[in-house]
Amino acid sequence: MLDPIYYAVSWVMLAWHWVFDEIGVGEWLSTNWDWVLSIVFLVLTVRGILFPLFVKQIRSQRAMQAIQPKMKALQEKHKGDRETLQKEMMELYRTEKANPLMGCLPLLIQMPIFLGVFHVIRRLDSGQHNPTLYGWSETLFHSASDAELFGVSIGATLRNGGLATVLCVIFGVIMIATTYLTSRQMILKTGWSEDPQQRMVQRLMLYGIPLTMIISVSAFPLGLILYWTTTNIFSLGQQFWVLKKYPPLVNGKPVEPKPKAKKGEDVELIEAQRKALAPKVGAKPTNPKKGGSKPKVG
């Protein structure tokens, strides 16, 4: 069922390995950098392909934020009538072209690719009798099987013991931490959703996935942990740029950036003065000319 993904993952890895082999990248510090970098650039290839979808995800989330006031009004109107509320909210999503599940779509697309990488790398340390499967040659298969990262096979797992356990734990902690930070960065910028369904998705992304990874690290090959860690680090940077380009909304309106203070100025004082000078809701506009003294002539 996933054979096309296994072939695609293998093709990208082999293509990048050919590039690094051609430019003379080899072994250094007990590491076969041609294979290690082929995994890293596999990540960059996948992220580059998924980037338009990631931008679409951010835009969908902005649409969800823009309809928050309308959602609150519906919740007040249909308080206690859950069935009617759900129908009205679905209609609101349809008319405003907002999709509450869009936040999970990039992850759902990444999972088959992740499983493909898991399968391909796991084969490298399992003594396969069919090394030419998925487009590999015997020479490249055995070369990848012998590839190491700081003296540890990229197909080794935490259960191999020794230095393999140490490296898997170190990279595993980084992988889990960056998974959490990626979700936390998004929630800090966008805020917790008022929609219970969307809030549940946010909690799953923030806490559920990192918790499952604690269990998974023991079974992941080192090369796969490297792949996921690289993905998370790249995602943090990519997400920071996109969130800056598409700033979050509060009550359907863009968040006003705080004023930047010059050297020696108090930012909080400047913000307080700005709020004090801002017109109050319901107040009549003042005319600076009325009541003032007329300028003297001559």
As a whole number of angstroms, the distance between CA 193 and CA 254 comes to 16
As a whole number of angstroms, the distance between CA 227 and CA 178 comes to 12
Residue-level pLDDT at 298: 47
Name the amino acid, one letter, at 236. L
Three-state SS for 270?
A: helix
> pLDDT of 90-118, one tens digit each?
888 888 777 777 666 776 777 888 888 88
> Domain boundaries in the chain?
3-254
pTM check: above 0.75: no
Evaluate whether 62 touches 28 at the Cβ level (below 8 Å). no
Phi, psi of 195 (to 5 degrees): -75, 125
- Going by C-beta distance under 8 Å and a sequence separation of 6 or more, which residues neighbour residue 107? 205
Report, as an integer, the average pLDDT of 58-77.
Answer: 79
> pLDDT of 35-44, one tens digit each?
999 999 999 9
Report, as an integer, the average pLDDT of 28-48.
Answer: 92
Least confident among 9-13, 29-33, 211-215: 211-215
